[in-house]
Amino acid sequence: MARDYDVVILGGGTGGYVAAIRASQLGLKTAIVEKNKLGGTCLHAGCIPTKALLRSAEVYVQSKKALDFGVEVNDVKVNFEQVQKRKSNVVEQLYKGVQHLMKKGEIDVYDGFGRIMGPSIFSPMPGTISVEMNDGTENEMLVPKNVIVATGSRPRHLDGLKVDGKKVFTSDEFLTIEQLPKSVIIIGGGVIGVEWASMLVDFDVDVTILELGDRLLPTEDDAISAEMLKSLKKRGVNVHLNVKLDPSAIDVQDNVSLQLDETEISAEALLLSVGRIANTKNIGLENTEIEVENGFISVNDNFQTKESHIYAIGDVIGGMQLAHVASHEGILAVEHIANRNSTPLHYANIARGVYSNPEVASVGLTEQQAKDNGYNVITKTFPFKAIGKAIVYGETEGFVKVIADENTNDLVGVHLIGPHATDLISEAALGLFLNASPWELGQMVHLHPSLSEIIGEAALAIEGKAIHF
Ligand code: FAD
């Protein structure tokens, strides 16, 4: 039997399930098709489990420093079984929340693999979704007026190197390890590689990062990359930049070994973090006019594909592959379907974060991008060591860098590295969203003592009026 819907969403990750909730709020009859678990990568293999592990690593590091704070904690050890258990509990709690929200919104959830069909007896237009049900029951046929493709992405592998989940891992398999290896080689020094490196070294694992480019975190400002390199090296991480590897020359035996110039590098495990591939295969795109460019589905500003009733959002369209971007794109796609006017998405105003120790967060252009875009760049940095609350916390590593245009006095970018950077960045993101100038950020009176004073001070520094540095 075919079932009619206003919207069917293919993929129940952060993008898909949030789109479903918004669709239900707008009174659209909505279904979501998920082959695995609602919540997708972010909830089950990305944002949430990695942050839960990072938090355990942070508590371990803090406990070792407890005596500095006058607290005697004896025999601090990592119980990795409990670390993993806590991570799973955090994920489970949030997973239940998402399931509850689907019920509350009266959203039909189909557990199975969905494919887009071409014109058929069900509809003269492509877009009927055939669902191969996980429980083996007969395929469901969903006939929607609109489709949102939100099938996400998966880890990229390297030709010639088999991911076996025993010695060679991607983030997906590494999340479920039962014991910490003594040593790990991480290929890729981007966001995911740096988060894992930071967590593992904090858990006393011997870590080596091999990065193809000439710096870590290549999408961040140069100053942030340099500070992260300094921090990781200080904590004992071996970082090799400009490394061109032949993956097929990596020897996987009891240990994983490779030759780097004259030196042999060896570790108990290898973690690949070399980017992500959009899930565009086997979902029936060939039955439509939908275009795929550089591996990602092409969309217009309203997230419509070449088939105007089929939208695509999230990691599958590329760009900023982040959970909050996917969910916001989902909301905007649904609002377009429902003929609602919504504020267009300006990607330049969206904050991004790295949840390492220290944290990194940024919004807007890097100094180099600002120069390349013709801004008359003025930058100021302000260190956490001059912020009272950072000293109180004992967390004085890092700084904020504010970038402005000297001609217009516009705020162009804000880059943070240091304690609670991923929470502090929202003020800067709001500043960019509201087109604020550094002067306006500096005039706002910041709570004292608070870490947020660093944004006000750096903004004032642009005009040479910083107080505490
Ligand atoms: P996904 O979350 O990948 O969801 C897609 C869903 O579609 C999946 O559940 C999949 O099973 C399902 N699916 C695919 N094909 C079909 C089909 N044919 N039929 C049915 N179902 C299908 N982002 C952040 O913003 N902050 C972070 O801290 C962060 N940390 C990360 C850490 C790691 C280790 C990783 C890997 C990613 C991280 N990300 C983070 C990125 C974030 O997870 C993604 O940007 C986000 O999950 C994208 O959401 P999505 O809905 O587009 O896709």
Ligand 1 centroid – CA 420 distance (Å): 24
Residues labelled catalytic: 448
- Residue 171 CA: which ligand 1 atom is closest? 34
Q: What is the pLDDT of residue 261?
A: 85
Ligand 1 centroid – CA 171 distance (Å): 13
Q: How confident is the prediction for the chain on average, in pLDDT?
A: 96
- The radius of gyration of the chain's CA atoms, rounded to the nearest angstrom, is 24
| Residues within a 6 A CB radius of ligand 1 | 10-16, 33-36, 40-42, 45-47, 50, 113-114, 150-153, 171, 192, 279, 283, 314-316, 321-324, 326, 355
Which tokens go with 5? 């819907």
Q: What is the pLDDT of residue 262?
A: 87
d(CA 209, CA 185): 6
Q: Are 325 and 397 in contact (CB under 8 A)?
A: no
Ligand 1 centroid – CA 12 distance (Å): 9
- Residue 51 CA: which ligand 1 atom is closest? 28
ipTM computed for the complex: 0.99
Q: What are phi and psi of 13, to 5 degrees?
A: -75, -165
- Residue 153 CA: which ligand 1 atom is closest? 3
Low-confidence ranges of the chain (pLDDT < 70): none
Ligand 1 centroid – CA 151 distance (Å): 8
Q: Which tens digit of pLDDT belongs to each residue from 271-281?
A: 999 999 999 99
d(CA 10, CA 33): 5
Contact residues for 56 (Cβ-Cβ < 8 A; gap 6+): 78, 83, 86, 87
Q: What is the pLDDT of residue 469?
A: 84
> C-alpha distances in angstroms, 260 versus 6, 212, 230?
56, 12, 22
Q: Are 131 and 139 in contact (CB under 8 A)?
A: yes
Q: What is the pLDDT of residue 362?
A: 98
Q: What are phi and psi of 453, to 5 degrees?
A: -55, -25
Q: Which of 17, 22, 42 to mutate to test the pocket of ligand 1 (most atoms within 8 A of CB)?
A: 42
Which helix (H) or strand (E) segment holds residue 332: the answer is helix 323-337
Ligand 1 centroid – CA 69 distance (Å): 40
Q: Are 435 and 357 in contact (CB under 8 A)?
A: no
Supply the residue whose CA is at minimum distance from atom 29 of ligand 1: 47
> C-alpha distances in angstroms, 252 versus 158, 255, 259, 265, 267?
14, 6, 12, 12, 10
Q: What is the pLDDT of residue 464?
A: 87
E strand map for 134-272 = 140-149, 153-155, 168-170, 183-187, 206-210, 238-240, 251-252, 256-260, 263-267, 269-272
d(CA 196, CA 189): 10
Q: Which of 22, 47, 142 to mutate to test the pocket of ligand 1 (most atoms within 8 A of CB)?
A: 47
Q: Are 360 and 354 in contact (CB under 8 A)?
A: yes
Q: State the pairing for strand pair 269-272/183-187.
A: parallel
d(CA 109, CA 163): 32
Contact residues for 60 (Cβ-Cβ < 8 A; gap 6+): 76, 78, 202, 203
pTM for this entry: 0.96
For residue 225, give the DSSP letter.
H
Q: What is the pLDDT of residue 466?
A: 86
